[in-house]
Amino acid sequence: MDLLAPTFGNFWKRFRRRHLRPWRTVNYEGIRVHYKKHLDGGGSGIGFGAFGQDYIPFLRSLDMPKQSRVFEWCSGPGFIGFSMLAHGLCETLCLADINDQAVEACQRTIRDNRLEDRVAVYESDNLTNIPREEQWDLVVGNPPFYPDKHEQEIRAYDKDWHTHLQFFATVGKFLKPGGVVLLQEANDGSTVDTFRPMIEDAGFSLVLTRGMDPGARSIYYIGFIRAFELAPEWLT
């Protein structure tokens, strides 16, 4: 009987998260973003999730011009992407997540705010279900941060950096000429040198690093472009 208890406990936890917890909203400059608490992996700006909203002042500090189309990788409910749209940092938005309930959250936000002509969302394991016609000027995201802990939490755990490696290997075909990838990573989970060889092996050049404090519980940024292209002025 003891062997069955953890299984039932996990089932009940998942059931409660999916079916019993209420939908919530957070407002970014008039865009109401729908989510459930367990879908917030750090993007909302609420409580421990404040770091995702650091993108807004960070991009403004770089004097980044408005981007035509932005993609949020591992988007969850799309906190970062919808906030960028609300703050006038992009014209249109693409979102994708492997979690069907995160995709449902994005769809709720799109309908509620009548954004059907400006936002697309896909249920996708990494980039596998993204239509090839999608082309992005900028990719942002706060992907899973840890290869060796939080194994039961899809928002945090990336075993052997498999998700990152797959992303680096495939994102190039969706970038417009001059496109930029700018990600948040965790200082207590990796360093720039963790990702540098992966990025370079995939045909990119690392051109921006900001906020490194090894071992600290804080966020740093890495930005990269195709190796044969010049970085836009705002990135350097």
Lowest mean pLDDT among 97-106, 146-155, 176-185: 146-155
SS3 131: coil
CA–CA dist 165, 161 (Å, integer): 6
**What residue has token string 């970014």?**
28
CA–CA dist 28, 43 (Å, integer): 12
Give the tens place of pLDDT for each residue, 119-132: 999 999 999 999 99
For the chain, list the domains and their CATH numbers. Answer: 25-235 (3.40.50.150)
Band (pLDDT 50/70/90 cuts) for residue 80 is very high
**What is residue 48's predicted lDDT score, i.e. its pLDDT?**
57
**What is residue 34's predicted lDDT score, i.e. its pLDDT?**
98
Q: Is the pTM of this model over 0.85?
A: yes
Query: Residue range 104-128: average pLDDT?
Result: 98
Name the burial class of residue 14, with classes exposed (0-12), middle (13-18) and buried (19+) by CB atoms within 10 angstroms of its CB: exposed
Please give the DSSP secondary-structure letter assigned to residue 65.
P
**What is residue 22's predicted lDDT score, i.e. its pLDDT?**
94
Phi, psi of 114 (to 5 degrees): 55, 50
Give the tens place of pLDDT for each residue, 151-172: 566 777 899 999 999 999 999 9
**Averaged confidence pLDDT in the chain:** 90
Give the tens place of pLDDT for each residue, 33-52: 999 999 998 889 886 557 89
Query: What whole-number percentage of the chain has pLDDT above 70?
Result: 88
> Two tokens at 87?
């703050």
Phi, psi of 150 (to 5 degrees): 60, 45
Q: Any bridge partners for residue 79, and if so which?
A: none
**What residue has token string 């409580």?**
47
SS3 202: coil
